[in-house]
Amino acid sequence: MSNAHTDPMLRPRSDLFTVDELARHLGISRWSVYRHVRSGEIAAIRVGQRLRFRPPDVDAYLEARKVTAP
């Protein structure tokens, strides 16, 4: 018998960002998050009708925008 508290597949994924969490993390609006997802700049995972973001995907997004000194 499986239990949501003991089965790792049924526990909430706290390591995924929500749209609001990612917007706060990046210091942008939630609409900007949606715009970056639509343009393919940030990879998102659809869970039901909601979007979630993996930290490595967020890191890749930030790395692609890194500016180095000339």
Which of these, 39, 37, 42, lies nearest to 55 by C-alpha position? 42
Domain-wise residue ranges, the chain? 19-64
Predicted local distance difference test score (pLDDT) of residue 56: 95
Predicted local distance difference test score (pLDDT) of residue 38: 97
Q: What is the per-residue pLDDT across 11-70, written as a single tens digit (0 to 9) for each?
A: 555 799 999 999 999 999 999 999 999 999 999 999 999 999 999 999 999 999 988 887
Helices (H), 1-70: 19-26, 30-39, 55-64
